[in-house]
Amino acid sequence: MNKKIVLPVFAVLLIASIGLSACSLLPTQKSASINVSAEPASAALRTLSVTGTGTVYLVPDIAYVNIGVRSEAADVSTALSSNNSLASAIMSAIKGLGLDEKDMQTANFNVYSVQQYDQTGKPSYMSYAVENTLYVTVRDLTKLSKVLDAALSAGANQIYGINFDLSDRQAALGQARDLAIKDAQAKAQSVAATAGVKLGQIQTISVANTSYVQQYSANGMGGGGAAMDHSSSVPVSAGQIVVTYDANLTYVIE
C-alpha cells in the first residue's frame, strides 16, 4: 500500500519542478525608472554699462608739404631739362635751411603732351609738360615759412597743401585713451551711487579711437598748379590737433 501512495506524489513534484523551470526560461521585463530633479534657474547677471570720452588738444610739432614745379616747352627734352634744373634748385634751397636730405622725397613725376589751339579753336601745335612734386617733412615748424619762401624763390610754382601732425602720435592716442577710461569709471561710480547699488569687477572693456582731427589753416595753402605770390613771407598757422577716444565699461552689480 505504501508504494501506491509514493508514486503519485513523486509525479506531482516532478510536474511542479518542470513548471518552475519553464517559468524561469521566459523573458523578464525590466521596469524603466526616470529621475527628475528640479534645479532652480540661476538668476540673471546684473550689469551696469557706461561710456566715457577722452579728448586732448595738442599743438602740432611736424609738417608735411608737397612742393612742385611744372615746366612746359615745345619739345620733351627742353621741358624735361628745364624741370630738372628747377627741381635741383628747389632741393638745394631747402637743404640750405638745414633740412636733412632723407626728409625730401620725390612724390610724383609726370610727363604728358598738351594740345595747343589757335584763336579759332583749331589744333595748332603740341607742347609737352613735365611735373615734379617733392614731398618734404619739416620737423622744425619755425622753419616752415622759410622752407616755402626758399622753394618759391627757387622756382616752385605748385604747393599742394600743408599737413600738420604730431611726431609722437602714439603718446597722444594713449593720453586720450586713459582719459576716456577714467571718465567711464567716474560715470559708473556716480550712477551706482545714485541707483544705490554696489559695483563689482569689470566684466568687459573696449576702447576705440573715434577721431584724430587736424584743424587746417587757410593760410599757406596753395595748390592745383596755381602760382603763388612770394613777395613776402608765406603765413602759416599750425592750429591744433584734436584726439578723441571712447571707452565702454561693463561692471557686475553685486
pLDDT, tens digit, 9 for 90 and up, residues 11-29: 444 445 545 444 444 444 4
Query: Average pLDDT over the chain, rounded to whole?
Result: 82
Q: Which residue has the higher pLDDT, 239 or 208?
A: 208
**183-234 pLDDT per residue, tens:** 999 999 999 999 999 999 999 999 999 989 875 543 434 444 434 444 456 6
Instruction: Locate 146 and state its grid cell.
Output: 622759410
So what's the pLDDT on residue 213? 81
Task: Indicate if the pLDDT at residue 180 is higher than 70.
Answer: yes
Q: Are 199 and 254 in contact (CB under 8 A)?
A: yes
Q: Which residue has the higher pLDDT, 18 or 172?
A: 172
Q: Which residue has the higher pLDDT, 147 or 161?
A: 147
**Global confidence as pTM:** 0.66
So what's the pLDDT on residue 44? 81
Burial zone of 240 (CB within 10 Å; 0-12 exposed, 13-18 middle, 19+ buried): middle
Where does the pLDDT of residue 107 fall: very low under 50, low under 70, confident under 90, or very high at 90 and above? very high
Structural domains of the chain, ranges and CATH numbers in brackets: 44-61+167-254 (3.30.110.170), 62-165 (3.30.70.2970)
Q: How far apart are CA 163 and CA 64, in angstroms?
A: 5
Q: Can you state the angle between helices 76-95 and 144-153, rounded to 10 degrees?
A: 150
DSSP for 239-253 reads --EEEEEEEEEEEEE
Helix, strand or coil for residue 60? coil
Beta bridge partners of 153: none
Where does the pLDDT of residue 10 fall: very low under 50, low under 70, confident under 90, or very high at 90 and above? very low
**27-54 pLDDT per residue, tens:** 444 433 334 444 455 568 899 999 999 9
Q: Are 38 and 228 in contact (CB under 8 A)?
A: no
Residues 6+ apart with CB under 8 A from 158: 66, 67, 68, 69, 70, 131, 133, 222, 223, 224, 225, 226
Residues 6+ apart with CB under 8 A from 69: 83, 86, 87, 90, 131, 132, 155, 156, 157, 158
Where does the pLDDT of residue 236 fall: very low under 50, low under 70, confident under 90, or very high at 90 and above? confident
Average pLDDT over residues 80-85: 96
Q: How far apart are CA 152 and CA 163, in angstroms?
A: 18
Q: How far apart are CA 62 and CA 192, in angstroms?
A: 44
Q: Which residue has the higher pLDDT, 68 or 230?
A: 68
